[in-house]
Amino acid sequence: MNTTTVSSNARPTLPEQSTAEPTAPFLRACRGLATTYTPVWLMRQAGRYMPEYRAIRAQHTMLDVIRTPELAAQVTLQPIDIFGFDAAIIFSDILPPLISMGLDLEFVKGEGPCIHNPIARAYDIDRLATPPAEESMAPTLQAIALVANELTPRGVPLIGFAGAPFTLASYAIEGGGSKTFAKTKALMYREPAAWKRLMNKLVTVQADYLVKQAKAGAAALQIFDSWAGQALGQQDYLRYVQPYNQALFAAVKRGTDVPVINFSTGTSSYLPDVVACGGDVIGVDWHMPLDWCWQQIGHATPIQGNLDPITLMAPWRELQYRIDDVLNRASGKPGHIFNLGHGILPETPTDNVKRLVDYIHTRQNVQEGHL
């Protein structure tokens, strides 16, 4: 294994910006420019499926790794060194910004995130703070600087990320994951003014955090709206989510010119409404074919996706067929970034990950737009 040493005194070289045409395939695809092969990275590519990551987690809690810049940088670099992805994504989680707002977050082994003082009433929302990212998320910003310093000379972009307002609100209200989102929707319907205050606070915190990640060295950003499409139909999405997502994307656009990926799940039935929120790239889940999704989005907008994560556990003959299906549906059009339709699963064989990356990098892309 290639183990990279990172220094806490490292200062990043500025990432590629949109003022000059980028050379990295991932950034070119984010701008809708032609590439010689389809760039690939995977959500949760630094995580439990990797023995190198599990070795670190055997000695440190999730929050310890996130709060220690050198450890977060090391974990971020592991999949780049081992698999050769076209982009790294900083190791963190969408939920730590909630801690500085006043919520008691713990990652419980075998259960996932748990918030011990969830939001239950308007008063709880009014008590939430909106601290600047330099205070609340300093370790992650430092980790970004470390990784950018290592990867920028190698031509590998780093992605920063944050959660969208509804997804964070649902965790904060439910106290963790949910199948019904009953508490979230009840508060949303019962206290619309309080809901507005909550979402505006989350927009403020997340916009500042995303812009500061770009300033620290992130060459691109991704906003995860993992739960809105699982919880809400189109009308509720338009009323209770879209205005705040639009505000978030607009604020990030004002603060930085790095490309921003708008990723959501369960939103296939109203993809144009998701696109209307903003973002330079639209990330889609695996529920609908990529060509159908791109038609809904509009081919002028780059797309990211959309292999079913479970297929990474299939035999190679089936996995290769599924990879080819996604790439063929993209038809070689500029602006496609290969990814999963959601995060990689802990049970995923590392050999399949390596084979996927190598296959995409060496697959003969003769379709229009690639060569």
Residue 274 CA to residue 204 CA, distance in Å, equals: 20
Instruction: State whether the Cα torsion 176-180-161-304 is positive or negative.
Output: positive
Hunting for tokens 């709060």 — which residue is that? 67
Q: Residue 213, SS3?
A: helix
Residue 234 amino acid letter: Q
Give Cβ neighbours of residue 303 (< 8 Å, ≥ 6 apart). 281, 282, 283, 284, 290, 293, 294, 297, 330, 335, 336, 337
Task: Please list the residues that pair with 338 across neighbouring strands.
Answer: 40, 305
DSSP H or E run through 113? strand 112-115
Other residues' Cβ atoms within 10 Å of the Cβ of residue 117: 13
Residue 230 CA to residue 267 CA, distance in Å, equals: 8
Residue 66 amino acid letter: I
- For residue 352, cis peptide bond before it (omega within 30 degrees of 0): no
Q: Which residues are catalytic?
A: 44, 48, 57, 93, 171
Residue 208 amino acid letter: D
Residue 333 CA to residue 356 CA, distance in Å, equals: 20
Task: Please list the residues that pair with 112 across neighbouring strands.
Answer: 108
Q: Say how many CA atoms lie within 13 Å of 201 toward its Cβ.
A: 23
- Rounded to 5°, angle at Cα 211 from 290 and 244: 65
